[in-house]
C-alpha cells in the first residue's frame, strides 16, 4: 500500500492545524464586516483573504480564485497550494470559523462553490459545502483587480437541513501562486532532489529512526509526528510507519512540480491521486 504522502499527512493533520494558528502581521491586511449564520448561531466575519491558483499541476477543475471571510487572522499561505488540508484541519480544531468562497477568476461573478468552516468537527464527515451557478450569484458587488479583491458577498441556503447564511462587505489583497520553476515527469521525477529527499525520509521512518526523519522534514511536520508518538507511543507509530512509509515508484506515474522554494510530488495510488508537499530550507529539500 503506497500511502506515505496521503496517509502520513492525514495522521498529522490535527497537530498541524493547531500549529498553524500563529501568523505574522500582513503588510496590507484584508478586512471584512458582516456575519455568518449556521443554524441560528452567528459568527462575526472580520478578516478577508484572497488567493488565485493557476492550476499548473492540472489537479483542480480549473483556475481558482479563493476568498476566505473569517472570524480571525490566519496565515495567508493556508489559502495556497492544491491541497487545502491545513486550512481544513485548522477549522476542525476551532482555529478559524468563516466561509471559503471559490470562483473562476475569469468569470468570478458567474457561479461559486462555498465551504463552511468549521461546520463539522468529526474527521469522518466532510465540511458543509454548496455550489451555485448563474450570473452575479452570491456577489451583489465584486471588483477584482491585479492586486485586490473587494465587494459584497451575500447568500442563504440549506445544506443537509441546516440553514446557512452569510452577508459581508470585504476588501483583501490578492496573492497568487508562485509560477512553476521546474517540472519533472516519470524517471526524471524519481531522480529529482525533492523526490530523493522524500525517499530518504520514508526510509528513516520505516527503520523507526525518528531522529533522522526529523532532520529530513520541516519543523512543523516533525512536531506533528512527535505529537502522534506522544499520543500513540513510539512502538505503535514505528509499526505503522513500517507498513505505510512507502514512496511511489515508476508504476505510480510520479510527477514533481517545483515553485521556487516549494515542490509538490504527485502520483497515482490506485484510483486516487496522492500528493506530498516539500519545502526547500537552507539548500535542502524537506518533507512538509
Predicted model pTM: 0.82
User: Residue 26 pLDDT > 80, yes or no?
Assistant: no
* Helix (H), strand (E), coil (C) string for 159-191: ECCEEEEEEEEEEEEEEECCCCCEEEECHHHHH
Cβ-based neighbour number of residue 95 at 10 Å: 19
Return the closest-CA partner of residue 166 out of 122, 117, 103, 109.
117
Q: What is the pLDDT of residue 27?
A: 54
Rg of the chain taking only CA atoms, in angstroms: 20
Question: DSSP 3-state assignment of 250?
Answer: helix
Segment 177-211, tens digit of pLDDT? 999 999 999 999 999 999 999 999 999 999 999 99
User: Do 156 and 163 contact (CB within 8 A), yes or no?
Assistant: yes
Q: So where are the chain's domains?
A: 17-176, 179-287
User: Residue 55 pLDDT > 70, yes or no?
Assistant: yes
Q: What is the pLDDT of residue 21?
A: 39
Segment 204-222, tens digit of pLDDT? 999 999 999 999 999 989 9
Segment 247-277, tens digit of pLDDT? 889 999 999 999 999 999 999 988 889 999 9
Amino acid at each position: 500500500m503506497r500511502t506515505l504522502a496521503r496517509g502520513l499527512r492525514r495522521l498529522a493533520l490535527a497537530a498541524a492545524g493547531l500549529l498553524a494558528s500563529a501568523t505574522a502581521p500582513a503588510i496590507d491586511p484584508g478586512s471584512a464586516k458582516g456575519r455568518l449564520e449556521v443554524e441560528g448561531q452567528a459568527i462575526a466575519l472580520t478578516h478577508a483573504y484572497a488567493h488565485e491558483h493557476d492550476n499548473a499541476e492540472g489537479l483542480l477543475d480549473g483556475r481558482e480564485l479563493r476568498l476566505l471571510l473569517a472570524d480571525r487572522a490566519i496565515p495567508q499561505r493556508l489559502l495556497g497550494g492544491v491541497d487545502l488540508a491545513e486550512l481544513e484541519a485548522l477549522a476542525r480544531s476551532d482555529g478559524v470559523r468563516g466561509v471559503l468562497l471559490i470562483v473562476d477568476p475569469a468569470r468570478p461573478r458567474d457561479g461559486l462553490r462555498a465551504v463552511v468552516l468549521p461546520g463539522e468537527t468529526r474527521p469522518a464527515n466532510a465540511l458543509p459545502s454548496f455550489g451555485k451557478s448563474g450570473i452575479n450569484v452570491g456577489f451583489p458587488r465584486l471588483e477584482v483587480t491585479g492586486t485586490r479583491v473587494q465587494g459584497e458577498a451575500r447568500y442563504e441556503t440549506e445544506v443537509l437541513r441546516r440553514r446557512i447564511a452569510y452577508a459581508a462587505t470585504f476588501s483583501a489583497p490578492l496573492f497568487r501562486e508562485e509560477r512553476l520553476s521546474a517540472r519533472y515527469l516519470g524517471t526524471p521525477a524519481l531522480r529529482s532532489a525533492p523526490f530523493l529527499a522524500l525517499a530518504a525520509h520514508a526510509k528513516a521512518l520505516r527503520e523507526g529512526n525518528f531522529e533522522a526523519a526529523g532532520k529530513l522534514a520541516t519543523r512543523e511536520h516533525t512536531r506533528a509526528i512527535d505529537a502522534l508518538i506522544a499520543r500513540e507511543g513510539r512502538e505503535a507509530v514505528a509499526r505503522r510507519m513500517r507498513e505505510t512509509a512507502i514512496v511511489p515508484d515508476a508504476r505510480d506515474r510520479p510527477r514533481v512540480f517545483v515553485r521556487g522554494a516549494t515542490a509538490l510530488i504527485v502520483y497515482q495510488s490506485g484510483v486516487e491521486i496522492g500528493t506530498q508537499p516539500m519545502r526547500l530550507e537552507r539548500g535542502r529539500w524537506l518533507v512538509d
